Amino acid sequence: SKQQDSTTPSWKKVDYAGVYKDIAALLEDENYDDGSYGPVFLRLAWHASGTYDCKSHTGGSSGCTIRHAPESEHDANAGLEVARRRLEPLKKKHPNISYGDLYTLAGVVAVQELGGPTVKWRPGRVDKQAVECTPDGRLPDAAQGADHVRDIFYRMGFGDQEIAALVGAHALGRCHTDRSGYDGPWNASPTAFTNFFYTELLDNTWVPKKWTGPMQFVDKQSGAFMMLPADMAFKTDPRFRAYVERYARDQDAFFADFANAFAKLLELGVSFPEDAPLYRFKTLD
């Protein structure tokens, strides 16, 4: 009834399994990148969430300020308008979903539909206005090493094992010279969620790329795959490396730890309604 409709919070009026399916239907496009929007959807979900500061309790996916300038224009977010534009028709189709819920759910869909683990997810984020944008500099700088990576992720409230698991997302997608300035994919199957970030990191000899672009590494043998300076920290730092060795050996351990750390990332700083259900969505087939 009308009465019920006006008292029901908007997050309860959304068919989230339906949104999941609609996002999944947007993943494939043979003319885009390696054929899937999954990697850039995942990067959007992560950058929407990774601004969290556990001391001031600011940032995170809750307000979804990543869609507003100036946060949308921070260097780290270059190229994410591609993902936002692709998802926009779903905001029209499901007007009661918040952007924070839509973008984080897109990350879950990407992980699951590209062959990764099931990721628990809850709705109920409430969008905020541009005045609440987070300051620049909260996301990691790819040019730096282990100390910087720890500073950034400890600020979100993560420990070394969780950080090492999260960076395994770099099995997916690629770097774009017109976005970050870096170039190339991390492995030969950038649209499959695997533990290849760890196996490639350990199995290859990585040498500085000879070019005029920013300092990055390429595999010595083929020159086809890349690592960021910040990625190399997971090979050179002994405490990170212990997890890298485990995840390279044991994909199930990686999937389990990634699923937990990624679900936590998407919830940083969010105060969910008490009755928000926890979803475990089924993959499409």
Q: Give the distance from CA 23 to its chain's centroid.
A: 15
Task: List residues binding ligand DDH (CB under 6 A).
Answer: 39-40, 42-43, 46, 79, 140, 142, 149, 166-167, 169-170, 172-176, 179-180, 182, 228, 230, 262
Closer residue to ligand DDH, CB minimum distance, 175 or 201:
175
From the list 47, 68, 74, 170, the catalytic residue is: 47
CB of 242 to ligand DDH, least distance (A): 17
CB of 129 to ligand DDH, least distance (A): 26
Nearest to 134 by CA among 62, 81, 65: 65
Closer residue to ligand DDH, CB minimum distance, 117 or 140:
140
Closer residue to ligand DDH, CB minimum distance, 11 or 67:
67
CB of 233 to ligand DDH, least distance (A): 8
Closer residue to ligand DDH, CB minimum distance, 262 or 281:
262
211 catalytically annotated: no
CB of 278 to ligand DDH, least distance (A): 20
Give Cβ neighbours of residue 155 (< 8 Å, ≥ 6 apart). 52, 53, 54, 55, 138
CB of 15 to ligand DDH, least distance (A): 26
From the list 11, 121, 186, 206, the catalytic residue is: 186
Give the integer Cα–Cα distance in Å for 191 and 88.
22
57 catalytically annotated: no
Closer residue to ligand DDH, CB minimum distance, 14 or 149:
149
CB of 243 to ligand DDH, least distance (A): 13
Residue 185 backbone phi and psi in degrees, to 5? -90, 165
Closer residue to ligand DDH, CB minimum distance, 16 or 258:
258
List the catalytic residues.
47, 186
